């Protein structure tokens, strides 16, 4: 027991100090619910996001019955403008779809013909 007691005390102290360390909190991505998007019109849908960025979604009906959503977000910071685009494919069934635009932005839309 003589040998194990210091070891047990050392492990206990190590675990106690490890539990007190501060960890950086990861921030959650910004989530934007853009509502229902009419995909049959073929017209782009424009949205202003809560943080001042502009979002445009252009839809294209595909032969397999799905729709291709070309989503662009334009961010203006002073005199600098940055635009990013992704393409997302989903069935048109009235359900809401959530997709990650990037590591900081999540977009939710419902599709309607």
Supply the range of the domain harboring residue 49: 30-112
Question: What percent of the chain has pLDDT above 90?
Answer: 19
In a domain, 10, yes or no: no
In a domain, 1, yes or no: no
Provide the number of structural domains found in the chain. Answer: 1
Any idea what DSSP says for residue 95? -
The pLDDT of 52-74, averaged and rounded, is 91
In a domain, 3, yes or no: no
Q: What is the pLDDT of residue 1?
A: 47
Measure the CA–CA gap between 108 and 101, rounded to whole angstroms: 10
Q: Are 49 and 55 in contact (CB under 8 A)?
A: yes
In a domain, 52, yes or no: yes
The pLDDT of 86-96, averaged and rounded, is 87
pTM recorded for the entire structure: 0.69
In a domain, 105, yes or no: yes
Tokens 């073929």 correspond to 42
Q: Exposed, middle or buried: residue 39 (CB in 10 Å: 0-12, 13-18, 19+)?
A: buried
Q: What is the pLDDT of residue 52?
A: 83
* pLDDT at 50 > cutoff 60: yes
């Amino acid at each position: 027991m003589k040998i194990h007691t210091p070891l047990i005390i050392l492990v206990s102290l190590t675990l106690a100090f490890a539990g007190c360390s501060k960890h950086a909190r990861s921030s959650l991505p910004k989530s934007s619910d853009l509502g229902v998007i009419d995909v049959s019109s073929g017209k782009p849908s424009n949205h202003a996001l809560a943080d001042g960025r502009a979002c445009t979604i252009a839809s294209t009906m595909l032969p397999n019955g799905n729709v291709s959503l070309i989503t662009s977000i334009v961010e203006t910071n002073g005199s600098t403008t940055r635009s990013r685009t992704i393409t997302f494919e989903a069935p048109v069934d009235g359900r809401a779809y959530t997709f990650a635009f990037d590591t900081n932005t999540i977009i939710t839309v419902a599709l309607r013909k």
